[in-house]
Structure 1
Amino acid sequence: MKSICVVFLFFVTAAVFAVNFNIQARFNPEELIISGTLSTKDDIKNYLLLPNYASEGNPYLHALFEEKGGKIDIISVTDGSGRMLNYELITYPATLLGDESLRQRTMLTIKENVEQVVISFRTHLKKKRLPEEGTYSDFVLYRFGWYPLPVEDLEGLRISPHSWQLMLQVPEGWEGVVGGERESETVWKSNGNYLSCPLALVKKESYKELSFSGDEVKVVVHFRKGFEGTASKLAAYALQVLDNHIRKLGPLRYSTVHIMQDPFPGLYGITADGLVAIGDGFFTTADLWVSGFLDPLAFYLVAHELSHLWFGIGTSVDFLKNNFMSESISDYIAHSTMLEIYGNDYYMNWDSADILVTFIKDYFDIPLTVSQADQFMLLYAKMAGVKAAVADATDRIPQNFSSAIYYQKGKRAFFSLEEIVGREKLYSILSEYYRHYVGKNVFTDEFLSFIGRYIDSGILEALFLERENFDARVYLEDGKIKIDNGSMKVPLRVIVESSDGSSSFVTTESTSLTYFPGMKVHLDPGMHTFDIERHNNHWPPLIEGEYGKDQNRYDAYLLSTHLNIELSASGIGYTGELLFEKFPYFGFGILSQSGYLSKEGIGYNYSGALFYFRPDNYTFLKGRYSELEGIHLFAEISIPEKLFIGDSAPLLISRHKFSVEGRYLDSENFYIDGVYSFNNMLKHGLYVGMEGLVGGFDAVPTYLGGFFGTLITDIESGLLTVFDVFAAVEASGKEVLDPFYDVLSVVATSNSLDPMMSKYPATSYLLDFKFSLPYTFSMDKRINFLNLFSLGGMGTSWEFDCRIFNGGVVFGTSVILSPVIYIIGDTPIRLYFGLSLLMDAEGESTLAIKGSVSLGSSIYFNENIVSTIKEAIKWKSSGSR
């Protein structure tokens, strides 16, 4: 009887709130156009043309970073009889969406009242590879906005939930995947009010599908050929999650849920009504190195994305004003589901029987659990100086930290609610909320009022509206154990341990406990609060060794070891470190250096000490001393600033950076090196820096100054022009600079034996000018090699350079290849290989190679200009290395 009532509620909701759109569309893959008409009899005056956002370019961004290209043309607006209606294309008024220059012609406003409106439109697809609204040779995805969208609130982005019917024509060889109920080969309908009509277009020769039926919902996975195993695994996760969610949150309005393989690299998901797109990283590179290593993360992502079918898509929100009601709830549901089904929240598959797992965990520094990954994000935002409330609109949170607030802090707010009412009751409240608001838009006040029926308003204010960071702590004072919650009514679980056992309670107020010998107190042991500092959550403080099974560096002070082995032509070296750390703020300890020098035929063994200090994201200090290397100190300071690039909120980044490095081996070998850099790539494609070095090498006084920089021209074509410069001078005229600092001879065993390079020893000054023409080719389909890496793109560059120094002038031309590969975890790595022809003014020439490796995505496929003058110094003593 209960299910019958729920179904009846859905039909009532659809009848009352229906917008009733009838859409007819045709896809033309050659011209990358969707042509269509939209007909409605509802009195809708305003339609958002979402693809027109930033279609004319972003004046606040360098052209290299723009994503323009898609747009909607309005062909005609008529009434039911074909009479042309009075309408305007105006600037969408919601300032939260971004700068006015990006919102031009993004809203269709009808100026008269009629019984029926028929809009003829033409949507031009973006000719770019993107996670959504991207175009590939065999895949197109539009989650929202490929047709004019009805909007309710012109101050934000609140789409009107609407019912629709779509008649879609695609050319032979293509197939449409639509997030609605399929009526026939070409017709789909929504089951009530949906937020949109999501549409994917796939080539049949590239994509296959597997269909799995659950108790109430069928799951269809659409994937590129060759990934049947991954598709089956994701479908199993989806059926498991849907069964859990439907049982606890209520039935869905979809008989079928489609899961798409999105070709864009990365570990991500995108959800719309009845359709989920999963990033290519969970298919192409998911099993690199260690099979099944990403399984826990894949399950978590599927659980999160499917939760949106209830919250964020099922119950609609204004994505600019109330995004936490989409992301925070969905992330809480996903995390709690993972804990219930698997009993843990491992971030990766640490139980995999593969010898590489331990190496990966240590070398890549991956969090052990999802909870630890969340804590890192909260800590990262706090150390950046971010203070924001979970319910803040997007303009109040720095753009690059919004996920930490909406996902991590917001999720912890719901886990804190769970401490008060329990998980089962909280699910019941959320289920009731879903049944009441499904197919409707919800405001923050409405949501908090609804939850306020069960939770004290003071607690809700602390969890969702308070902008100050929360830091609970416990300490011994005047014979009492003090539990201090910082005057914030955040539900805090307290565990008290004694020799007789343990007890726990939840408090929202600061309190005291009578101290007795052997007493242990722990605050928030399950990481349920958004506490930004957890080392003070335990009395007495926790101290752990790094090899403990449940080691948690966010709670415990650590005794940790680090090992580094160096192999070189001079021999082999080993450095071992023992550190006492409070991650990530400071660490100090001792080190031991041992090795063997092949030239001298002797071994060595030295000891020393080291430390680091990082109070925030903008200050870093480290140092070390050993009998082998002497004293080595490094300090770096960057200046945080809010950089506006036209979007809802500015970025919180550091464009200005200062660093000082000093080495002292003995009175004859020492230096102090200072560097300033300014990174303005986002705005003007510019990166510049200055450097100065004062020191002595083998008792030779050295005074060096230098400048380096890169400029990428702000043009819109695929062929960029890049200018690099590196200049250095030794003020006293000492010849310590290597004019061939960045190349290695291929015609001799060393540069000193090269026929041309040997003519030019060290110099007192060096000017190196480079001009490059790089071109990038990104692959639609990544290719795996022996389960080691995946090739995702190739860059080529033709480079010209001129080196001016004491001995003369050397010209060079280089051919560069820059493959982009992806390794475990879909981590992108840019490789740089170059073959250079060098020729001096006398006609002497030689061949050389150059190369480098960089983690992360590249800005452009070209050489990364050397950003330190020390790379160009000819070290005359092994002791100065």
Structure 2
Amino acid sequence: MRSALCCLLLTLAGEALASSVQIESTFVPDEHAIVGTMRMGWDSSPGEAWFALLGNFGREPNPYLSPLAQDGSYVSGFDPAWTVIERVAWSTPDGEEELPFELHPAPPTLQTYSLDDVLLRVELPEGEGDLLIAFRTRFPHIWAGEPGRLGDVYTWRFGWHPLPASPPMDGTWPLLLSAHDYRVTLTVPAGWEAALPGEVTREEDGERTAFTTSFSAPVRSVSLFLAPKGTLRRATVPLQGIEVEAVALPGDEDLVRALATYLPEILAYYAEKYGPYPEGRLLLVEHPNEIGVAMTADGVVYLPRWLFRRFDLTAGGILSRYSRYILAHELAHLWWGIGIGVDLDAENWLSEGMSQYLALRWYEDTFGADGGNVFQLERHGLGEELVNRQLGFMNLRQHMTELPYLQTAFTGFDEAVVKPGGEVRYEQASAVRLYDKGYLVLRAAASLAGEEAFDGVLRQAHAQARSGMFTSSDLQALLEGATGEGWEVFFSQWVYGEAWADYAAAGMVRARDGEEHVTAVHVTRAGTGYMPVTVEVRGAEGERSSQTWDAGAMSATIEFRTPFPVREAVVDPDHRALDVDRLNNAWPRRFVVMLDRNELPLDAYLVQPDAATEGMTIRYLDRFGWGVYPQAMAVSGWVRYGREWTMTGGAAVGETLVGAISLTRHLWATPRLGSAGTYWEPVGELTFTVARQPLWTLGVELGWQEELARAHSGGLSLLWIPPEGWKAELSHTQLLGLAPHLYLTLTVGVGLASPDLPSAFLPALSEFRTRIAGNPPHGDRKAFASLGIWLPPLRPDYSLGGAALVTEVRSRLYASLARLWREGEGGEIIPTYLEVGAEAMIQVEALGGLLGFTAVVGIGWPLSPVGEGVLYLGIVGL
């Protein structure tokens, strides 16, 4: 049924390809709107036409989000987007005829709110004619700036006009962008300018400028980029056969121009391997968003201002290589996802995973595949030395692509790369699934087919489907044709299925046979899927010999006869297969010692000496670790069990033995967020602790925190110290939205303890900022309340001499009230405590934006008992 449905949808999309699309439009800045008329012509009427009004997905606010989450999308509170149809007509040489039209809701396949009037249906008269649709589309004010505006810059990549679409069938609606012969005229008033893709001409008078753009071949979108005059700084980069235009925002011209010079070599690389770029012009545009979103549309690549503001942060050129990788990924979309149409709902891996594959191929061919290949700086300086120590180990493929997949699989959030949004079970991991796992699946396929054969498949796909649609089954058919082998098992396991595999080198036996060294390597496999993998043995002088293990059986013994003695055996040494655990891939197990810079091996224990205690720690990723500290006479350890449990413990010997062991249950929720899939949010932890410090204590702590559907946090703790007594404390903070980015927080807390509990364990005023004269107050009972007002943030993007960047300053006013009671001898009277204060949370970034922390600066005044104001400073999140 699904195959028949896909064929029908592709047939409908293919019929629409014959249609030309002409748009006459005008930008109205005062209304933040585009007003236009779209004309589609047919030699023979198809009977009906469907269009998507994608702007109406943003007409209503998301009712499921908290004010905090909502403000993460909108600059000044909810701001609607919409597309209104003002008129529909049928034009023939005999004149125009008004046509009735229907507006239908979209099925909840992409989101579950604001679905009304998303689909437009028009019944067409018979014969030859043109369909005219008059529309008006509004740009919302959002942080991403697309589709919408950010400040005075307006961007809309696709769907700002009625988008030719296929109708929903059986409740499903694949997001397919079909290619058309577009010709767009955009008129902007005096004082405005536009950067448009395609072959552009302009006519200007004193009141307006008219831009007209067209393409040499059908395209899937005509992207808009509008700004006040003087905002866009342009430069042309010469490239044989293609006009490359760089468009920068004020202050970043030099960096954008410099990055544009890398376009020719990347484009030439792709053209040689996968076919030529079909257009004669390409735009590289700096986009104003500060959330780091890069984007592509036909003929244009948008890179975020976030990237250029951090390009030299802390160290000169820290993001030089990484920015080129981002550029390569976005350019790859001109071949995949834009260059070849795919279902951006169910099969977006063919867009994002394939672009990741093309970009990493170029990157590793340019900078090498092994070792630290991301942050390698050739200058000498304090910042450069810091980068080398902290980030010099990072490998683009291993740490930025494979590691996210390993972590997702370990926490049980892995699922098939082909899946409609409504069936996605772990939506919070969708980026890893589509980008990273998608890349790993394609790299595995290229390994099996051979990279040259795989490049040929991609070149053939691009040539055949440039103006059409492409599916995973099409990729499978091309691979079978190129290799002469069946790929059904691979696709059923790794593309459509949820297979996993863990390959391991389990041991080896060495012997001599005359001049030959005979080594029997025992290999194993666990999991529900497999693919052939390489088994390699290595000698002391770098000698190597390898064989292929088909991995069909769960274990095997592979014999090697070599002229050198074997020291090590490795399964899948080049990381070609999807493997959920790399630690066991080598025999004997590997150890990497971290000395003068950070390390993060995926296939070895990490050993870190501790000079202060003359001890060391040994760990593997975020899965387990332990430490031994002889000077302190102490040990520690921890182990993580998937997404659900973590156990930690430690002990030390001093005057007596002290220590603790804790078991933590990680809590998750699946809130309704308005998306079609299921999203998992970490919402708290429940921890059980047994400790001797030196008193024996038993403790239970429950902490909770939510931000998406609700914004609140709190905690409950229970402590028993036999036979001394017990203590219980409870606190909760609720956030309420007063206005956009203006929040009221209310915190309440209580504490209760047995009277004979040692004073160090009694409830105290840890929430207060001011210093109370004498010993910090504590009591058997406690009541606490605090009221705070968070003011709208400032976003200065202020550089601290190039070493760091202040990105946000958020201020808070607060008043706190508390009362303590103390029973026991004399029944001590403890006064009511009251303080007021103000503080600022200053977000600072360094190391190219990869290191962030928050500085807290505040002042508090004690009003009861009356005291002196206190200035306090602190750093959190470092």
Answer whether contact 1:290 1:356 (CA < 8 A) is retained.
yes
Once residues 550 and 631 of structure 1 are traced to their aligned partners in structure 2, the CA distance between those partners, rounded to angstroms, is 29
User: What corresponds to 2:367 in structure 1?
Assistant: 342
CA drift at 1:404: 1.7
- Paired residue for 1:315, among 332, 335, 340? 340
User: What corresponds to 1:863 in structure 2?
Assistant: none
- Paired residue for 1:277, among 302, 305, 308? 302
Once residues 474 and 299 of structure 1 are traced to their aligned partners in structure 2, the CA distance between those partners, rounded to angstroms, is 37
User: What corresponds to 1:391 in structure 2?
Assistant: 418
User: What corresponds to 1:770 in structure 2?
Assistant: 786
Answer whether contact 2:522 2:557 (CA < 8 A) is retained.
yes
Asked if residue 378 in structure 1 is aligned to residue 405 in structure 2, the reply is: yes
Matches within 5 A, 1:505-516: 505-510=547-552, 511-514=556-559
Asked if residue 177 in structure 1 is aligned to residue 195 in structure 2, the reply is: yes
SS in 2 for 1:512: strand
Matches within 5 A, 1:214-225: 214-225=239-250
> Which residue type is aligned with residue 59 of structure 1?
P
User: What corresponds to 2:748 in structure 1?
Assistant: 725
Once residues 224 and 470 of structure 1 are traced to their aligned partners in structure 2, the CA distance between those partners, rounded to angstroms, is 47
User: What corresponds to 1:130 in structure 2?
Assistant: 144
> Which residue type is aligned with residue 188 of structure 2?
V
> Which residue type is aligned with residue 109 of structure 1?
R
- Paired residue for 2:106, among 88, 92, 95? 92
Matches within 5 A, 1:524-673: 524-547=572-595, 553-562=601-610, 574-575=612-613, 577-592=615-630, 606-627=632-653, 630-667=658-695, 671-673=697-699
Matches within 5 A, 1:405-484: 405-455=433-483, 456-457=486-487, 458-476=489-507, 480-484=520-524
SS in 1 for 2:458: helix
In structure 2, list runs of 5 or more residues that go unmatched: 1-12, 204-210, 510-518, 822-829
Q: Deviations for 1:226-268, whole angstroms, at most 9, x for unmatched residues? A: 2233213321222221111112211112222212222222444
User: What corresponds to 2:184 in structure 1?
Assistant: 166
User: What corresponds to 1:109 in structure 2?
Assistant: 121
> Which residue type is aligned with residue 537 of structure 2?
V
457-466 vs 172-181, which moves further:
457-466
SS in 2 for 1:213: strand
Matches within 5 A, 1:345-364: 346=372, 348-352=374-378, 353-357=380-384, 359-360=386-387
Q: Deviations for 1:283-303, whole angstroms, at most 9, x for unmatched residues? A: 001211111122221111111
Answer whether contact 1:286 1:824 (CA < 8 A) is retained.
no
In structure 2, relative to structure 1, the CA distance for the partners of 1:461 and 1:357 (3 Å cut) is farther
User: What corresponds to 1:76 in structure 2?
Assistant: 87
CA drift at 1:555: 0.7
CA drift at 1:27: 2.0
SS in 2 for 1:113: coil
Answer whether contact 2:410 2:580 (CA < 8 A) is retained.
no
CA drift at 1:676: 0.8
CA drift at 1:117: 2.1
Question: Percent identity over the alignment?
Answer: 18
In structure 2, relative to structure 1, the CA distance for the partners of 1:297 and 1:703 (3 Å cut) is same
Once residues 364 and 615 of structure 1 are traced to their aligned partners in structure 2, the CA distance between those partners, rounded to angstroms, is 28
Once residues 35 and 832 of structure 1 are traced to their aligned partners in structure 2, the CA distance between those partners, rounded to angstroms, is 48
Asked if residue 20 in structure 1 is aligned to residue 20 in structure 2, the reply is: yes
CA drift at 1:503: 2.4
Once residues 161 and 780 of structure 2 are traced to their aligned partners in structure 1, the CA distance between those partners, rounded to angstroms, is 65
TM-score where L is the length of structure 1:
0.84
Once residues 20 and 65 of structure 2 are traced to their aligned partners in structure 1, the CA distance between those partners, rounded to angstroms, is 39
> Which residue type is aligned with residue 87 of structure 2?
S
> Which residue type is aligned with residue 513 of structure 1?
I
Answer whether contact 2:183 2:214 (CA < 8 A) is retained.
yes
Q: Deviations for 1:812-869, whole angstroms, at most 9, x for unmatched residues? A: 33333233333223255444333333312x7x3542345554449xxxxxxxxxxxxx
Q: Deviations for 1:109-158, whole angstroms, at most 9, x for unmatched residues? A: 22443632222222221122215224222322212221111113632211
Report the RMSD for the aligned CA atoms in angstroms.
3.1
User: What corresponds to 1:786 in structure 2?
Assistant: 801
CA drift at 1:449: 1.8
User: What corresponds to 1:679 in structure 2?
Assistant: 705
User: What corresponds to 2:545 in structure 1?
Assistant: 503
- Paired residue for 2:63, among 59, 66, 69? 59
Asked if residue 144 in structure 1 is aligned to residue 158 in structure 2, the reply is: yes
Once residues 165 and 814 of structure 1 are traced to their aligned partners in structure 2, the CA distance between those partners, rounded to angstroms, is 60
> Which residue type is aligned with residue 86 of structure 2?
I
SS in 2 for 1:448: helix
Asked if residue 808 in structure 1 is aligned to residue 860 in structure 2, the reply is: no
Once residues 649 and 402 of structure 2 are traced to their aligned partners in structure 1, the CA distance between those partners, rounded to angstroms, is 27
In structure 2, relative to structure 1, the CA distance for the partners of 1:199 and 1:347 (3 Å cut) is farther
User: What corresponds to 1:571 in structure 2?
Assistant: none
CA drift at 1:337: 0.6
SS in 2 for 1:283: helix
SS in 1 for 2:693: strand
Answer whether contact 2:724 2:756 (CA < 8 A) is retained.
no
CA drift at 1:187: 0.7
106-115 vs 251-260, which moves further:
106-115
In structure 2, relative to structure 1, the CA distance for the partners of 1:671 and 1:849 (3 Å cut) is farther
157-166 vs 366-375, which moves further:
366-375
Answer whether contact 2:637 2:649 (CA < 8 A) is retained.
yes
In structure 2, relative to structure 1, the CA distance for the partners of 1:442 and 1:505 (3 Å cut) is same
> Which residue type is aligned with residue 176 of structure 1?
A
456-465 vs 250-259, which moves further:
456-465
Once residues 111 and 854 of structure 1 are traced to their aligned partners in structure 2, the CA distance between those partners, rounded to angstroms, is 61
TM-score where L is the length of structure 2:
0.85
Matches within 5 A, 1:223-238: 223-238=248-263
Once residues 15 and 214 of structure 1 are traced to their aligned partners in structure 2, the CA distance between those partners, rounded to angstroms, is 36
Once residues 373 and 612 of structure 1 are traced to their aligned partners in structure 2, the CA distance between those partners, rounded to angstroms, is 25
> Which residue type is aligned with residue 506 of structure 2?
Y
User: What corresponds to 1:847 in structure 2?
Assistant: 869
In structure 2, relative to structure 1, the CA distance for the partners of 1:347 and 1:404 (3 Å cut) is farther
In structure 2, relative to structure 1, the CA distance for the partners of 1:121 and 1:794 (3 Å cut) is farther
Once residues 120 and 763 of structure 1 are traced to their aligned partners in structure 2, the CA distance between those partners, rounded to angstroms, is 72
> Which residue type is aligned with residue 797 of structure 2?
R
In structure 2, relative to structure 1, the CA distance for the partners of 1:522 and 1:113 (3 Å cut) is farther
Matches within 5 A, 1:697-712: 701=724, 703-712=726-735
In structure 1, list runs of 5 or more residues that go unmatched: 1-12, 564-573, 594-605, 857-881
Q: Deviations for 1:697-744, whole angstroms, at most 9, x for unmatched residues? A: xxx945321112121225664433222223323232755557553444
Q: Deviations for 1:374-408, whole angstroms, at most 9, x for unmatched residues? A: 22211111122123223333333511111222122
> Which residue type is aligned with residue 468 of structure 1?
A
> Which residue type is aligned with residue 273 of structure 1?
D
Q: Deviations for 1:648-701, whole angstroms, at most 9, x for unmatched residues? A: 31112332421234543324xx644421123333222232321122348xxx94
> Which residue type is aligned with residue 26 of structure 1?
T
CA drift at 1:188: 0.8
CA drift at 1:40: 1.4
In structure 2, relative to structure 1, the CA distance for the partners of 1:558 and 1:429 (3 Å cut) is same
> Which residue type is aligned with residue 408 of structure 1?
D
User: What corresponds to 1:301 in structure 2?
Assistant: 326
SS in 1 for 2:742: coil
> Which residue type is aligned with residue 436 of structure 1?
Q
User: What corresponds to 1:834 in structure 2?
Assistant: 858
